[in-house]
Amino acid sequence: MFETIVWQEDRMLYNGLVFRLQHYRNESWELGDECFVFYKVKQLVNQYDHFFSSRQFKCQRFFELGLWEGGSLPFWFEAFKPIKMVGIDLADKTDSGYFRRYVSQRDLQNRIKTYWRVNQADSHRLQQIVAQEFDQPLDLILDDASHIYDATLSSFQTLFQYLRPGGLYIIEDWAWEHWPGCTGTNSPLAQYKGLTDLIVQMVQAVGTSEKLIKSVTVYQGFAVIERNAESIPANFELANQIQTRPQIVQRNPMVDRVKQGIRRFIS
């Protein structure tokens, strides 16, 4: 799905659009603001290509959490060409001039919509936006927002019900707490709980039952949760979908032998 991408040292070119690679930004950039800011690297895009090329997946309705500077929205739109794509972000920003021209020149006003200053943990606001913008179930939800456990879980428990059976919920950068540079005291995420436990819970839910979550596919850069056909309860909580056995007290064979010896000696 990304065969037309051209990767260069500090940019990615895709369907006539310029994406400045934020990881490789340098002082020699000559295009000013005539570009999208793109916070993804080739390795991550290759992982997405590997995942989607292995299945027949048609995305008509796409909801994205986390826009950064807005570059991911047109990237995914060019990849899937959905009927409708909506993105939200907590930042107090507006669409860039390059983004506005992209929407206007390609006549996408009714197909792409952004909402800034929206907290992904605001369940009521997320439900409002979905009800206002989509008239049918979603095919794909992608969370590239806070990367914080509580907020990410909140969004999932709010939005998973809006996916169609077979729809996909993607949590990007779930493994950040295992990456050098992201866990030091200077990292903006250092004080927050990461997402590893959340992905483990997703796997536990699949192990308990496939009624709601059919599968979990994990790459280093993202995890994909596939919805099954079962209806989602109104008070859906992930923890309620997990069944675990009672905690087992591990016995030490050496201690057992010592105890047996003491009992024989006393008797």
Residue 246 three-state SS: coil
Asked whether 238 and 230 are in contact (CB, 8 A), the reply is: no
**In which band, very low, low, confident or very high, does the pLDDT at 258 lie, cut at 50, 70 and 90?**
low
Q: Tokens 């021209």 correspond to what residue?
A: 101
The C-alpha torsion from 188 through 85 and 202 to 47, rounded to 10°, is -80
Residue 209 three-state SS: coil
Asked whether 71 and 37 are in contact (CB, 8 A), the reply is: yes
| pLDDT tens-digit map of 134-169 | 999 999 999 999 999 999 999 999 999 999 999 999
Mean pLDDT, range 34-62, rounded to an integer: 95
d(CA 128, CA 140): 18
Mean pLDDT, range 190-198, rounded to an integer: 89
Q: Which of 183, 184, 179, 219 is nearest to 199 (CA)?
A: 219
DSSP designation for 239: G
d(CA 209, CA 22): 41
**In which band, very low, low, confident or very high, does the pLDDT at 225 lie, cut at 50, 70 and 90?**
very high
Residue 61 three-state SS: strand
d(CA 261, CA 267): 10
Mean pLDDT, range 218-241, rounded to an integer: 94
Residue 154 three-state SS: helix
Domain ranges of the chain: 41-243
Q: Is the pLDDT of residue 181 over 80?
A: no
Q: Is the pLDDT of residue 185 over 80?
A: no
d(CA 89, CA 65): 6
Q: Which of 168, 159, 136, 137 is nearest to 56 (CA)?
A: 168
DSSP designation for 23: G
Asked whether 5 and 12 are in contact (CB, 8 A), the reply is: yes
What beta strand segments (E) does the chain contain? Answer: 6-7, 11-14, 17-21, 36-38, 61-65, 84-89, 112-116, 138-143, 163-172, 213-218, 222-227
Lowest mean pLDDT among 39-43, 184-188, 245-249, 260-264: 260-264
d(CA 25, CA 31): 12
Q: Which fold has domain 41-243?
A: Rossmann fold (3.40.50)
